[in-house]
Amino acid sequence: MTDGSASPVYAGLATRTFAFAIDALVINVVAWFVGVVVALGLSLLTIPDGVMTALAAIGAGIALLWTAVYFVFFWSGTGQTIGDRLLGITVRDAGSLEALSLRRAALRVLVLPLSAIPLCAGFLMILVDRRRRALHDRLVHTVVIYAEPVRARRPATVSAVRERVA
The pLDDT, as a whole number, for residue 154 is 62
Contact 49, 57 (CB under 8 A): no
Contact 76, 99 (CB under 8 A): yes
The pLDDT, as a whole number, for residue 22 is 98
Domain ranges in the chain are 13-149
The pLDDT, as a whole number, for residue 163 is 72
0.75 cut: is pTM over it? yes
The CA–CA distances, whole Å, from 104 to 71, 119, 126, 140 equal 11, 25, 20, 7
pLDDT, tens only, 23-42: 999 999 999 999 999 999 99
pLDDT of residue 155 exceeding 70: no
